[in-house]
Structure 1
Amino acid sequence: MTTSPAVAPAAPAPAPTRFAGLLPTDDVLRRLSLITLLNALGRGLFFPISVLYFTRIVGLSATSVGVGLTVAGVFGLAAGVPAGRASDRWGSRRVLCALWSGVGLSMAAYALVDSYAGFLGTAICYAALNQSSTGVRGALYADVLPPAHRVEGRAHLRMVTNVGMGVGGLFGAVALQWDSRAAYLTLILVNACTFVIGALMVVRLPVTPERVAQGDAPAASRWRAVRDLPYLSVTVLNAVLALQYSLLEVGLPLWIVQNTDAPRWSAALVAVLNCALVALLQVPATRGVEDVPGAVRAMRRSGLLLAASCAVFALTAGLSPVWAVLVLAAGAVVQVLAEVTSAAGGWTLGYALADSRAHGVYQGVFSSGQAAATMAGPALVTVTAIEHGTAGWVVLGVLFVVSGLGVGPAVRWARRDGEWRGE
C-alpha cells in the first residue's frame, strides 16, 4: 500500500479520554473530534430539511422522494465493500478525502435539482459516496488510533457527533420556520462545505507505526471478508441489534401518534432525551468492553435491554397522557442503555475479528450490515409493532434477545476460524 510520509511517533499516546478543558489531550483524537464536529454540524443542518426541500421547494411528491431515497440506499449498500478495498490499497486517508469531496459535490448538486431524474441521479451519487465513506471512516480509525484506545476514541467521537447533530438541528429548525428556498439552499451548501473541509483535514492525520508496518493484505486475504462466514454472522447479529435505531426514529413516533394518548411532542422529547443520554453515557459505556469477552457480554446485555424497552413501550397503550409520557421516557432510558452498550460491543468485535491488514474491506462489510438494517428497519418495525400492537412488540423483543445471545456462539466460531489472521 502506498503511504504518505506522515507517520505518528512511536511514543505511547496519552489516554484519549483525558481532557484539557473540553478537548482530548491526544493530538490525533483532538483533530478527529474537530473533523467529526464539523461533519456532524453539517448533517444536523440538512437532516431536518431534506425531505421538505424536495417536496416543498423542488415540487416532488413525498412518495416519489421516499422511493428515490430507497433506490439510492441500495446503491449505497453495494458501494461499501469496494470502497473498503480501495482504502486497503491506497490508504484510508486518501480514499476518505476523495469520497468526502464527492459527497460535498453531490450535496451541492442538490441545489440544482429541478426534476425527478435529476433528484434520483444526485441521490444515488450522494448515497453511494456517503455510505461507502462509513466503512472507510472505520478503517481510518483503525489506521490512526492505537488499538488500545480505538473503542474509547470512537465512543468520544460518537459523543461529539450527537452534540454536533443537535446543534445543527437547531439551525435546521430555524430554516424550517422560514420555509424559503434561500434558507434551504444555504443549509445545503453549508453542509456541502463541511464535507469538503473535512476531506482536506483528513489527509493530514498521521497513521500509527503498526499500520505502516503491516502494509496491504496478501492477495488471498484482500476480499476474504465477503466470504468470512463467522465474521458475516457477527455482522448480521449486530445489524439486527441496530434495528433499534429505526425503532426510535420511525416506529416510536408512529406508535405515539397512532396507539397512545401521549401528546405528539413526546416523540421529540424522546429524541432529545436519546441525544443527551448518548452524549453522556457513550464514553463510560466502553469501560470493560475493550476486549472480545467484554464485547460479547455487552451485546448480550444490549439484547436483553432492548427487549425490556419494547415491553415498556408496549405498556403505553391505553395509559393517560401524563402516565404515557412518563412510561415513554422510562422506555427511552432503557433503550439508550442498550444503544450505548451495543455500539461499544459492536466496535470492539468489528475490529477484533477482522484481519488488521484488510480493515477497509472488513469495516465496509460491517458498516454495510448496519446500512441494511437502516433500510429494512422502518418496514419491519411498522409490520410488527405498529400493525400488531403488543404482539408485534413481543416479536421485536424476542428478535433482539435471540440476536444478543447469538453473538457469543458466533464469536467463538470466528475465534476458532481465526488462525489465518495470525491470532
Structure 2
Amino acid sequence: MAASPPAGRWRARLGLPDLAGHGRIVAATVLDAFGVGMFVPLSFLFFVLTTDLTVARVGLGSALATLLSLPVAPLAGALVDRWGPRTALIANNLLAAAGYLGYLLVDSLPGLVAAMLVVLSAERLYFAAWPGFVADLAEGAELDRWYAFTTAGTNAAAGLGGAAGGLLLGTGWPGAAVAVVLVNAATSVLAAVLLAARGARNHPAA
C-alpha cells in the first residue's frame, strides 16, 4: 500500500526511502552487517586463538588468500550479469557462511588459506552484486535515499556487531571465539533466506 501523503512528507524530510514491501531486504542487510561486524574484533586473532599457527603464519596465510582472491572480482561481475544481483547476493551469503564454518576446521596453513579464500571470494561477489541490487530498488532521488539508508544502516549494524563481539570476547569465555564465528555464519544464512523468501522484492519502485 502506498504511503499516505503526511507519512510520505515526513519520509522525504528525513531522507528515508519508501520501505513498503522491502522489510525482508532491510532485515537481511542489517543481519548480515551485524554478523560481519561481530567478527571484526576477531578477524585476525581467531586462528591465533584456535590453532597452533603463529602470528607470522596467520599473516602469511591472510596475504596469500587475499592475492588468490583478486582474480575472483571479474568472475564475480560475470556471475552477477548471469544470475542477477539478488541471486548473487544469496550466493554470497551462503558462500560466506560456508567459509566461516570452514574456519572452525582449520588446523594448518593450507587450510587457513582455503577457508579465507572462500570468505574473500564471497566478499568479492558481494561488492559486485550490491550496487546493482540497490539500483533495482528505485530510481532517481529515491535511489539516492536507498544508498544513503543502506550505507547508514549497514555501518550502524556493523558497529553494534563489533561492540557485541568485543564484549563477548572480553568475558574471557573459552568458547567466545567459536561462538562469534557461529553467529556470523548463522546471520549470513538467515540473510540468504530472507533475500530468497517470496515477497523480498527488488524491482524499481513505480
Deviation sequence 1:328-382 (CA, Å, 0-9, x none): xxxxxxxxxxxxxxxxxxxxxxxxxxxxxxxxxxxxxxxxxxxxxxxxxxxxxxx
CA apart distance, 1:57: 2.1
Paired residues in the alignment total: 196
Give the aligned partner of residue 206 of structure 1: 201
Distance 1:130 1:43, change over 3 A: same
Q: 1-side partners of 2:135 and 2:44: how far apart?
A: 34
Which of 128, 138, 141 does residue 121 from structure 2 map onto? 128
CA apart distance, 1:144: 2.5
1:83 corresponds to 2:76: yes
CA apart distance, 1:143: 2.0
Which of 181, 184, 198 does residue 177 from structure 2 map onto? 184
Distance 1:177 1:146, change over 3 A: same
Deviation sequence 1:252-298 (CA, Å, 0-9, x none): xxxxxxxxxxxxxxxxxxxxxxxxxxxxxxxxxxxxxxxxxxxxxxx
Deviation sequence 1:128-172 (CA, Å, 0-9, x none): 122222111121112223343222211111111121112111221
Which of 93, 97, 104 does residue 90 from structure 2 map onto? 97
Give the aligned partner of residue 58 of structure 1: 51
Find the residue that maps to 1:174 and give its secondary structure. helix
Deviation sequence 1:374-406 (CA, Å, 0-9, x none): xxxxxxxxxxxxxxxxxxxxxxxxxxxxxxxxx
Check the 8 A contact 1:107/1:192 in 2, yes or no. yes
Distance 1:48 1:130, change over 3 A: same
The one-letter code matched in structure 2 to 1:101 is L
Check the 8 A contact 2:136/2:202 in 1, yes or no. yes
Structure 1 segments of 4+ aligned residues over 6 angstroms from their partners: 14-17
The one-letter code matched in structure 1 to 2:138 is L
Which of 151, 169, 193 does residue 158 from structure 1 map onto? 151
Greater RCO (CA < 8 Å, at least 6 residues apart): 2
| Residues 18-417 of structure 1 mapped to structure 2, 5 A cutoff | 18=11, 25-27=18-20, 30-204=23-197, 205-208=200-203
Q: 1-side partners of 2:159 and 2:28: how far apart?
A: 16
CA root-mean-square deviation: 2.7
Distance 1:29 1:154, change over 3 A: farther
- TM-score computed with the length of structure 2 as normaliser: 0.83
- Taking only the aligned residue pairs, the percentage that are identical comes to 28
Find the residue that maps to 2:44 and give its secondary structure. helix
Check the 8 A contact 2:76/2:124 in 1, yes or no. no
Check the 8 A contact 2:69/2:117 in 1, yes or no. yes
Find the residue that maps to 2:146 and give its secondary structure. helix
- TM-score computed with the length of structure 1 as normaliser: 0.42
CA apart distance, 1:48: 0.1
Distance 1:16 1:186, change over 3 A: farther
Structure 2: state its 5+ residue gaps.
none
Q: 2-side partners of 1:16 and 1:55: how far apart?
A: 52
CA apart distance, 1:183: 0.8
CA apart distance, 1:195: 0.8
